[in-house]
Structure 1
Amino acid sequence: MMRTLRDWLIGGFFLAGLVVCAHVQAAALTSLEFVQRGDGGINALLAFDGPAPQPNGYRNASPPRVVLDLPETSSRLERQRFEVGQGGLQEVRVAETPARTRLVFDLEEPQSYSVQRQGQRLRVRLGGEAGMQGGAAPRIRDFDFRRGESGGGRLVVTLNQGGVTPQTNTEGDTLTVTLPGVRLPEELNNILDVSDFDTPVSRIVPDETEKGVTLTFDNREDVQHLVTQRGDKLIVEVQPGDEQASTSVNGVPQYDGKPISLNFQNIKVREVLSVLSNFSGVNIVASDSVTGSVTLNLDQVPWDQALALILKSHGLASRRQGNVIMVAPAAELAQMEQQTQESLEQAPLETEYVKVRYAKAANLAEMLRGSEGVGLLSKRGRVVVDERTNTLLLRDTPEQLASIRNMLAKLDVPVRQVQIEARIVIARDTASQELGINWGVSQREGVSFNENGVGSVVDRNPSGANQASAGLSVDLGDSDGSGSTFSFGYLSGDVLLDLELRALESEGKSQTISQPKVITANQKTAIIKQGQEIPYQESTSSGATNVEFKEAVLELNVTPQITPDGSIVMDLKINNDTVADNSFAGAPAIDTNSIETQVLVDDGETVVLGGILTSEQLRNLYKTPVLGDLPFIGSLFRYTQESSEKVELLIFITPKIIGDEQANR
């Protein structure tokens, strides 16, 4: 009994296979005889009590066999197994079903076959040329070549009658289609140049021989082909050979079914589905709307690819769930799925409370709702957020709730954190010669940014500079010594950095004015700010005055991002604002230096930023009045005292990834 696709979709029951409704038997197989030929082959002679049926058959290479189906035929044979043992034929097995009688020819090795229909008899020729003959010789009436939707070539051969069984052969990029017993009119015996259609086929060469007509397809590449027949139309479709690989890239499963050879003439599509179901062991459910017939000849193609080609040629679609394939017209299948979806939407709603541990419940709720109504919630589903307890109140169908639980389990996880440690150091006097950056320590180069934001690569290990074995080696003097610039580099060895900074502090050459630490989540900005707010009075439009404030601070904005290999990408933005000597309308002026950059460092590695320096030079003249101004001897009565002081601000930034155990404490 055949169940409709509607019953399968709504009821959810799977059938064991494609079962065909019983037909009234038109003929009965009464005898089976075997005759060995002189060429080493063998003929099987089948006799019936009425007109011989039109057989459908296919061959298989492993194990080698030929399967012949006799539709609407019963069996009156006394036996179901015939041992032959000659002509390469081992035995013949006969099986009867309400819809057909099947003969299985078990061979010693793969070989071709042909079937001839003569009145109440069928002759199966094994080991000869494949084909099915009978009746008057058909003739070709017209050729029509077109480009298919997927870029393949499509040749439609119009005959004066149906019943032609084509044979195909592929050698390299050449496809030959043979039409046994067909005649070709002289006016159609011309080469078809189809290179302008932009298909894999460049030309088609028709030729008439004693055995029939051959159509040779000269292709630009290896191709796949399918030959089908609809009435008096013979259709040859040629697709690029890489179509299978391209569909695999686009997410469609690659054809990996067991190879099968099919040789059908005017067989019903439902019968082909039955053959494929029996061969593959996969259950196939067909809609009542699946009708029509097909003639095809496929040689050793994956069975799932053969199914796809047959469905495509008849405008059908399929859906697979487990070991069951549903087949129906594409429009009907879409309609049935829509009805099933509407039926599911009528399911009763359930309420569930989900306590969110790590994420924000409001953010997850927005994700569930989705943009423009496209989310995990159904049309009737609702989500409410309790911000006090960080809990989601969900109301939806059981199926949707299960999907939502799976999603929340993957998203509600702790986010990795990064500890950002900054050291802000002031270097004084000669410390600029010792606290600069020796770029040879890490064998890297630094980048210098001026106050206008222009950067350049500079070498921080000039010839003659002191080499440091590890830790910190400092050379604070910038390349030109004028203006205010930023420079940064890399250091490793946090302990050595602390020791050297403390040593310089003990000599009075440096002072650590701040050492803040902050922990931030991955890809979240951490802000470290130090400075002062300067009050000033500002007049309003009404004439009153208000006290406003301006910030003059050193501000560090750090946004870390943990890479898969454990390194850290930091987006750095540093502002160093100081109060200028001048003012305007009572409002203080602010001198600003800023830098914005991105660096990649290892876990625990230190980024060094320098070049924020100020200098003060003093020149004092001491002399005896009058005598100090005399020429020549005046120098004996005066002296000059010159002093200079340089102060440079260094910023050391060290990111460290916090482990899961440390983060949970």
Structure 2
Amino acid sequence: MNALPRIAQTLTRHLLGIVLLAMPVVATAADQPPTGNAVQSVETTTLPGGKVVVRVTFKNALMTTPAGFTVGNPPRIALDLPDTGNAIGKNTVEANLGPLSSVNVVQAGSRTRLVLNLNKSVEYEAKVDGKQLLVSLGDAGAGASPVNATPRFAEAAPGNASHSIRDVDFRRGGAGEARIVATLSDAQAGINIRQQGTGVVVDFIGTDLPKALQRRLDVADFGTPVQTVETYALGGNTRMVIQPQGAWEYSAYQTDNSFIVEVKPSTDGQKKTADGKIKYSGEKLSLNFQNVEVRSVLQVIADFTGLNIVASDTVTGNLTLRLKDVPWDQALDLVMQTKGLDKRQNGNVIWIAPKDELLTKEKLELEAKNQVADLEPLSTEYIQLNYMRADEAQTMLYGFASGAFLNSATNSSVNCSAQAQGLGGAAAAQASQQGQNSNNDQKVLTKRGRATYELKTNTLIITDTPRKIQEIRELLARLDVPARQVMIEARVVTADSGWSRDLGAKLGLAAINRTGRYQSGIAGTQTDASHIAQGFFPQSSVKGTRVDPSDPTKFVTDVPLQSVGTNLVNFPAGAGAAQLAFSLLDASTGNLLSLELSALEADNRGKIISNPRVMTSNQKPAVILNGTQLPYITPGTANNPPTVTFKDVFLCLLVDPQILNNDSLIMTVEVQKDAVDNANSVSLGGVAVPAVATKRVKTQVRVNNGETLVLGGIFDQSELKNVSKVPYLGDIPVLGNLFKQTFKQEQKTELIIFLTPRILDERLSLR
């Protein structure tokens, strides 16, 4: 059994194909002459039209057409003859007729395999005629099936009753393939399947079709290559026409009473589909077995693949199997699924046994290993780590390194405050201590294993079985690597935009008249009116005449005349406003009018950019702070002296990055920007205590390496309009502006936070 693979490796591909087709992997110790039939002669001839016929004569008449299968590269046709010997006296019959090169007749034990060696792709048809087996070879041509696609399944044995189809069903497979299932009355119906034109034609020989199943199924909405499936009676047979579209390929197989045709898109797939189902990739073959032993089918697959198949003694039973253009690994799975078998492969050896037997054996092996581990002596080794902390490695061995226990212990003290504790090793040590004291099923160590560490030399001390220590060494060799570094840069942009307009006016009026010895006047304020009552005005830069107080009948000329006052209407603009003033004086009447217009328009813009940046390792939180602490004095009492407390005013950046395998990052980010707000200060004990304005964002984002991301923003806009006026007079169109003040203000504040992570080159990290 073991010599065959070594011999096969030394042969050429041509000879290898012959050996694999001719000799079974599992054979008896010595070939015994069969007690049944025998091959007496092999003859070849050419018929008119170029068709080659191989005529095989037997000692006794054959009851059924032999089961066979084909190989595509090199092209071969193999027919199995059970309980048959080789009586022609040689193993090779030369032919050299058309596509047929030679015929090999090889006996192995009580069975003989007939191998037709071809030099190009042809179709074949096997037919039994008494003691003779006629194998006709036809030219494949452009539209025919290749030689590895058997065009016809073996027909039913002579004398059998008519067969029937009980159901025709269409299903969509998990990988998008179409699956047409025909349920037969028995497994002996002859089936002929071929590709014809743009479709697939299946003929069920001598099979009846009930009228209820004579129909055309429109399956275009199922999302498979198949558009229609039409089944109808054709004479004494039943024909099924499958019409696909696009690029497709098909395969067919039969298990017991079910005949299945699969049509799938012609694409190069992976080992598994997207939903995790196995996608077969073995070389395709065609098989035709009717009520044969499972062990014989396994022998055929072993011959085809060149693998060593070891079948358990409990593998028994018969099955009917018809396959066309099916990968050999799928054919093997179909056989195992039909009989409840499973396999275990080690190199080129496949062990096949019932599932329960395999599971029981593996369970016993595991129990034996556990018993040995409980008795195996312990040893102690010292493993010095280069990049990984020894306390974190110890925690991982106890099964807590990747859990929430350690993460919460290390991350809880990292925050945007002056009292942040950082990333000390105490949290990890505390976590590992609790992990050591607990019975965690996730730990790497055995039940008797122990691990401790020494941080000064970063050494891990492990006590366990030698085999487990070796596993831990291999694990640490993969994990003790430099952590990738990330530089995170943030930009906090605060933009202010303000606009205001202030319009106002001052209006003053004074008049003095003399009627006889009496004088009367009008002024803008009570003070100015009292001046008039006294008969004089305050000093003014305006020259004029007034009544002499000592002699009311006389006038004093060229004496200073004070202004009339402006408080009749006093709505000036704010400080710093532009002013325009003028006065009108009638000297003959003593009337004085004073008017002052003021206007102020301001436009201010400001931008503040804060640019914190911090570098950290993968999955390690980091925080950077910049700012001050405002002192607050709390007044004391008779028994308690004054106290001073501090309020943080910080610019803070906190990040916790995780580098993904595609060089993108998932980051937990917190950005906080504080500022003193004097406008909203309060008084405490006679001392002004300023308020603190805080702008903060906290989120988790995914971003590509080197990509700038806008985390968020705050936009504030305020509008203010104030009008102060003299009732009624201020409402007069146009002239009403002399009797009122108008103030308009617009204020915009915008906060935008940008984030740019950059993964540093590992070579820079090593330096």
The TM-score, its normalising length taken from structure 2, stands at 0.56
One-letter identity of the residue aligned with 1:235: F
Cα distance in structure 2, aligned partners of 1:330 and 1:49: 41
Distance of 1:315 and 1:268 partners within structure 2: 15
C-alpha spacing 1:421/1:71, structure 2 compared with 1 (3 Å):
closer
Q: Where does residue 609 of structure 2 map in the other structure? A: 488
Query: Residues 435-488 of structure 1: CA distance to partner in whole angstroms, max 9, x if unpaired?
Result: xxxxxxxxxx9954679xxxxxxxxxxxxxxxxxxxxxxxxxxx9648xx8743
Percentage identity across paired residues of the two chains: 26
1:575 to 655, 667, 673: 673
1-structure distance, mates of 2:252, 2:759:
60
Match of 1:414, SS?
A: coil
C-alpha separation in 2, matches of 1:194 and 1:658: 58
Quick check: 1:58 aligned with 2:65? no
Confirm whether residue 29 of structure 1 aligns to residue 96 of structure 2.
Answer: no
1:174 to 158, 182, 199: 199
Displacement of 1:572 after TM fit? 6.3
In structure 1, distance between residues paired with 2:755 and 2:213 = 84
Partner of 1:341: 366
Q: Determine whether 1:325 maps to 2:325.
A: no
Counterpart pick for 1:409 among 468, 477, 481 = 477
Q: Quote the residue 1:528 is aligned against.
A: 625
CA contact 1:265–1:294 (8 Å) conserved in 2: yes
Cα deviation digits, residues 68-111 of structure 1 (max 9, x gap): 11123332331111112335432211222125211211123232
- Cα 1:592–1:327 change in 2 (3 A) is same
Of 146-155 and 201-210, more deviation after overlay is shown by 146-155
Taking the aligned partners of 1:176 and 1:654, their CA distance within structure 2 comes to: 62
Query: What is the RMSD computed on CA atoms of the aligned residues?
Result: 5.1
State the distance in 1 between where 2:197 and 2:496 align: 67
Structure 1 position 57, deviation (Å): 1.1
Aligned to 1:13: none
* Deviation of the 1:27 alpha carbon: 1.5
Give the aligned residue type for 1:90.
S
Tell me which amino acid in the other structure corresponds to 2:289.
Answer: F
Aligned partner of 1:465 in structure 2 is: none
Counterpart among 59, 65, 83 of residue 48 in structure 1: 59
- Find out whether 1:19 has 2:26 as its counterpart: yes
Q: Aligned pairs, how many?
A: 525
Deviates more, 1:101-110 or 1:372-381: 372-381
Quick one: structure 1 residues 524 and 131, their matched pair in 2 at CA, closer, same or farther if it must change by over 3 Å? closer
Q: Indicate the larger mover: 274-283 or 370-379.
A: 370-379
In structure 2, relative to structure 1, the CA distance for the partners of 1:380 and 1:140 (3 Å cut) is farther
The answer as to whether partners of 2:64 and 2:158 remain within 8 angstroms in 1 is: no
Match of 2:163 in 1: 140
Among candidates 248, 251, 259, match of residue 235 of structure 1: 259
Unaligned runs of 5+ in 2: 3-22, 140-150, 404-438, 498-601, 711-752
Deviations 1:259-289 (A, max 9, x none): 4333433343332322222222222333444
Alignment of 1:87-98 (within 5 A): 88-98=99-109
After the TM superposition, which residues 102-141 of structure 1 pair with which residues of structure 2 at under 5 Å, given as runs?
102-117=113-128, 120-127=131-138, 130=152, 132-133=154-155, 134-141=157-164
1:358 corresponds to which of 369, 387, 403:
387
CA distance in 2, matches of 1:35, 1:288: 41
Cα distance change, pair 378–237 in 1 and its aligned pair in 2 (3 A): farther
CA contact (8 A) 2:289 2:321 kept: yes
Contact 2:632 2:647 (8 Å CA) reproduced: no
- Alignment match, 2:332: 307
Any idea what SS the aligned residue of 2:269 has? helix
The TM-score normalised by the length of structure 1 is: 0.63
Describe the SS at the equivalent of 1:245.
coil
Q: Helix, strand or coil for the counterpart of 1:226?
A: strand
- 8 A Cα contact 1:153 1:199, kept in partner: no
Q: Is the 8 Å Cα contact of residues 166 and 177 (structure 1) preserved in structure 2?
A: yes
Indicate the SS of the match to 1:306.
helix
- Equivalent AA in structure 1 for residue 215 of structure 2: I
Q: d(CA) in 2 for partners of 1:658 and 1:218?
A: 57
Q: Note if contact 2:307-2:349 (Cα within 8 Å) is conserved in structure 1.
A: yes
* Partner residue, 2:208: 184
Q: What is the CA–CA distance in structure 2 between the aligned matches of 1:268 and 1:57, rounded to whole Å? A: 14
CA contact (8 A) 1:175 1:216 kept: yes
CA distance in 2, matches of 1:295, 1:653: 67
Moved more, 653-662 or 322-331: 653-662
CA contact (8 A) 2:487 2:757 kept: yes
Counterpart Cα distance in 2 of 1:519 and 1:72? 79
- The unaligned stretches of length 5 or more in structure 1 are 3-15, 423-444, 452-478, 491-515, 608-650
Distance 1:26 1:362, change over 3 A: farther
Instruction: Answer whether contact 1:582 1:589 (CA < 8 A) is retained.
Output: yes
Query: What is the correspondence of 1:160-309 to structure 2 with a 5 Å cutoff?
Result: 162-171=187-196, 174-180=199-205, 182-184=206-208, 187=211, 190-191=214-215, 193=217, 195=219, 202-209=228-235, 212-218=237-243, 222=248, 224-230=250-256, 233-238=257-262, 240-241=264-265, 245=269, 247-250=272-275, 254-309=279-334
Q: What is the aligned partner in structure 2 of residue 432 from structure 1?
A: none
Moved more, 413-422 or 381-390: 413-422
Shift of 1:150: 4.2
Shift of 1:67: 1.0
Residues 1:551 and 2:672 are matched in the alignment: no
SS across alignment from 2:621:
coil
User: 1:591: Cα distance to partner?
Assistant: 1.9
